[in-house]
C-alpha cells in the first residue's frame, strides 16, 4: 500500500491484552509509532510495554465504563499530545441459537461490542476534529457481513457497528477523518477459546444444525488459516494509506463466502425485481385510468 506520509502516528487501541489487539499494538510500535495500549487489567501489558518503554503507554480501559474511557483519552493526549489513530478492538463473542439467547448476556454483549466502541469513538472525535484529521479503524468481523446459525447475536452486534461506522465515514470524511471497518475471517488467535461465550441454555431441537456448528468453531481453535501478525500489519498500512477503504475483508475464506453471499443477493434482486418495483405509485404517463 502507498504511504500517506512517514510522520509517526499516535494510537489508542482498545483490548490489547491478547489476540488481534496485542498484535496491532506490536505492529504499530515496531513501525516506530507511539501507542496507548489498553486492557481491563493493564498489568497484562507489562511485557509489551517493557519492549518499547519510550513508545508504549499502558492504560486501564473497560469500554463499558465511561469514566475509564475519559481517563484513557485524557492520559493518551497528555502523554502524546494527540490521537491520530483509534482502533476499536475490544469485543467478544457470544454463541447460541436465537431462541437460546439469555437476555442479560445479549445486552452485555452489545454493551461491549457496540456501545463501548460508540462511546470511545465519540470521546475521540472532538480531538480529531480539532487537530484537523485522524483515523478510526474498527476490528469488526466476517460476522458483520454474514450471519450464520449460532452466531446471530454476535452478528447483530457487529452489523450494528458496521452500519454506525458506514454512516460515520460519510459524516466525517469532509473533516479529513477516515473510518475503516476491517472484517477478518478465521484467524489463529485465542478468540474461540478465551473470548467466545456460549449460552448455558441448550434446546435439543437445535443440537444438530446449530450446536454442532458451534462445536466445530470451538474445535478450530489453533487451526484457523488467518495469521494475526500479517493481519495486524494491515491495520498499520491502513493507518498510513491516503485513501483507506470503508470496509476491508481479511482472509481468503471470508472473501469467498462474501462473494457467494453477494451473488445470492444479486440473484434474489433479479428474481423479485418486478415485485419490488410494483410497490411504487404507477408512473404518471399523462393518461387517465378512467
Q: Cβ-count burial of 195 within 10 angstroms (0-12 exposed, 13-18 middle, 19+ buried)?
A: middle
- Per residue, what are the HEC states of the chain? CCCCCCCCCEEEECCCCCHHHHHHHHHHHHCCCEEEEEECCHHHHHHHHHHCCCCEEEEECCCCCHHHHHHHHHHHHHHHCCCCEEEECCCCEEEECHHHCCHHHHHHHHHHHHHHHHHHHHHHHHHHHHHCCEEEEEECCHHHCCCCCCEHHHHHHHHHHHHHHHHHHHHHHHHCEEEEEEEECCECCCHHHHCEEECCCCCHHHHHHHHHHHHHHHHCCCCCCECHHHHHHHHHHHHHCCCCCCEEEECHHHHHHHHHHHHHHHHHHHHCHHHHHCCCCCCCCCCCCC
**Does residue 199 have an active-site annotation?**
no
Closest among 55, 44, 51 to 16, alpha carbons compared: 44
How far is it, in rounded angstroms, from Cα 163 to Cα 133? 22
Out of 14, 17, 140, 157, which one is annotated catalytic?
140
Out of 52, 94, 153, 154, which one is annotated catalytic?
154
Out of 158, 169, 181, 192, which one is annotated catalytic?
158
**Does residue 154 have an active-site annotation?**
yes
- Do residues 262 and 247 make contact, with C-beta atoms less than 8 angstroms apart? no
How far is it, in rounded angstroms, from Cα 57 to Cα 257? 38
How far is it, in rounded angstroms, from Cα 188 to Cα 223? 6
Q: What residues act catalytically?
A: 140, 154, 158
Amino acid at each position: 500500500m502507498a504511504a500517506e506520509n512517514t510522520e509517526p502516528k499516535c494510537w489508542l487501541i482498545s483490548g490489547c491484552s491478547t489476540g488481534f489487539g496485542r498484535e496491532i499494538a506490536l505492529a504499530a510500535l515496531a513501525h516506530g509509532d507511539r501507542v496507548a495500549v489498553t486492557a481491563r487489567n493493564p498489568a497484562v501489558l507489562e511485557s509489551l510495554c517493557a519492549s518499547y518503554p519510550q513508545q508504549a503507554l499502558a492504560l486501564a480501559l473497560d469500554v463499558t465504563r465511561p469514566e475509564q474511557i475519559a481517563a484513557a483519552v485524557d492520559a493518551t493526549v497528555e502523554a502524546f499530545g494527540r490521537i491520530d489513530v483509534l482502533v476499536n478492538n475490544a469485543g467478544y463473542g457470544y454463541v447460541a441459537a436465537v431462541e437460546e439467547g439469555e437476555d442479560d448476556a445479549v445486552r452485555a454483549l452489545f454493551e461491549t461490542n457496540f456501545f463501548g466502541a460508540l462511546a470511545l469513538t465519540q470521546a475521540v472525535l472532538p480531538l480529531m476534529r480539532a487537530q484537523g484529521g485522524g483515523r478510526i479503524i474498527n476490528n469488526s468481523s466476517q460476522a458483520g457481513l454474514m450471519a450464520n446459525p449460532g452466531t446471530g447475536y454476535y452478528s447483530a452486534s457487529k452489523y450494528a457497528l458496521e452500519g454506525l461506522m458506514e454512516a460515520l465515514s460519510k459524516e466525517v470524511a469532509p473533516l479529513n477523518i477516515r473510518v475503516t471497518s476491517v472484517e477478518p475471517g478465521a484467524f489463529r488467535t485465542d478468540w474461540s477459546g478465551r473470548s467466545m461465550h456460549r449460552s448455558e441454555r441448550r434446546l435439543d431441537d437445535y443440537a444438530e444444525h446449530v450446536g454442532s456448528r458451534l462445536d466445530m468453531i470451538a474445535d478450530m481453535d489453533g487451526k484457523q488459516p488467518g495469521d494475526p501478525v500479517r493481519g495486524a500489519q494491515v491495520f498499520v498500512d491502513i493507518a498510513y494509506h491516503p485513501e483507506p477503504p470503508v470496509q476491508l475483508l481479511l482472509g481468503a475464506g471470508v472473501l469467498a463466502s462474501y462473494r457467494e453471499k453477494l451473488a445470492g443477493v444479486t440473484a434474489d434482486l433479479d428474481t423479485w425485481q418486478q415485485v419490488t418495483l410494483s410497490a411504487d405509485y404507477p408512473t404518471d404517463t399523462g393518461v387517465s385510468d378512467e
